[in-house]
Amino acid sequence: MDAGPLIFFAALAAIFWFLLIRPQRQRRVAHRTMVSGLGPGDEVITAGGVFGRVRTIAEGHIVLEIAPGTEIKLAKDAVANVVPKDEPADAPAPPAAEERG
């Protein structure tokens, strides 16, 4: 029996693993870490694009304030990103873009 096709399929499986499965697992772990680090007062963006501030956190959901006095209950997995906290006021401003003339 020729080992050529077996080596080809093993190489194809390795490429599939490194290009598709491994990066997806890394994204999943990063998302779980981000969600587990949420706390009251954090500003987040949901998967639907809604900005809000975390008010309370329970086992499988969070309560998100999206406007003063308006709160929604949301699954933790629906949080897409945490909005970075503002930089200190004494931080240098980013350089201005050059104008093209």
d(CA 46, CA 37): 15
Residue 32 token pair: 């779980």
Please report, for the domain that includes residue 58, its CATH number. 2.30.30
User: Could you tell me the end-to-end alpha-carbon distance of the chain, in angstroms, rounded to an integer?
Assistant: 70
Confirm whether 61 is domain-assigned.
Answer: yes
Q: Is residue 52 domain-shared with residue 63, that is, in the same domain? A: yes
- Residue from 44, 43, 38, 72 nearest 57 by CA: 38
Residue 99, pLDDT above cutoff 70: no
Domain count, the chain: 2
Domain that holds residue 54: 39-85
pLDDT in tens, 19-47: 888 888 999 999 999 999 999 999 999 99
Query: What is the pLDDT, as a whole number, of residue 97?
Result: 53
Q: Is residue 43 domain-shared with residue 69, that is, in the same domain? A: yes
- pLDDT level of residue 92 (50, 70, 90 thresholds): low
d(CA 85, CA 5): 54
